[in-house]
Amino acid sequence: MIAIEKMTSQHVGDVIALGVGEDQRQFVGSIDDILAIVNAQIRPHVILADDHQVVGFFLIDTVYEQTNDFATPHSLGLRKFFIDKHHQGKGYAKQALHLLPDYLTATFPNHSGVFLTVNAKNDPAKNLYLKSGFQDTNTLYHGGPSGPQHVMKYKKP
């Protein structure tokens, strides 16, 4: 069973210990770099397993449309979504993405959709997003540090 929560000070120690494998670091970065961009508009969230253990992390960018011209008004940006390398392969990412629409509707009731970019070389992540209700917009974003990225969106039903 997976749950999603806003990150609080009680999660900090567990979040700092999170990481991804070397093959994924080019797409996600280090947790230190991710936490450095957190502010009042870019908000951290944790993914918790059954025992309330932090197994994953992501950011919700509430001003995503201001820095990404492909995003529509009142949309959110899903950024830096990952499951810790020690917990991958257990279905946690799929479960968290299944919970995400309802969680975002409850947490950000005025949003009209969610956008993300996924590196063109990261087929496993793209396929996971597609299976989780995101749609490929058939647009490439070229502003990322690791090359072209597919722009994907999830619209509220």
Q: Could you tell me if 136 and 152 are in contact, meaning their C-beta atoms sit under 8 angstroms apart?
A: yes
| Helical ranges in the chain per DSSP H | 12-16, 22-28, 31-36, 64-67, 92-107, 123-131
Domains of the chain: 3-155 (3.40.630.30)
**41-50, 57-66, 148-157, range with the lowest pLDDT:** 148-157
Q: Does the pLDDT at position 157 exceed 60? A: no
The predicted pLDDT at position 146 comes to 77
Token pair 């970019």 in the structure block, residue: 117
Mean pLDDT within 129-137: 95
Give the tens place of pLDDT for each residue, 49-64: 987 999 999 999 999 9
Quote the pLDDT of residue 155: 67
In the numeric block, which tokens belong to residue 24? 């994924």
* 156 band by pLDDT with thresholds 50, 70 and 90: low
Condensed to tens digits (0 to 9), the pLDDT of residues 10-29 reads 999 999 999 887 777 767 78
Considering only residues 22 and 129, tell me which one the structure prediction assigns the higher pLDDT. 129
Contacts of 133 (CB under 8 A, 6+ apart): 97, 101, 154
pTM here is 0.93
Give me the chain's average pLDDT, please.
Answer: 92
In sequence order, what are the residues at sequence separation of 6 or more whose Cβ sits closer than 8 angstroms to the Cβ of residue 62?
41, 42, 43, 76, 108
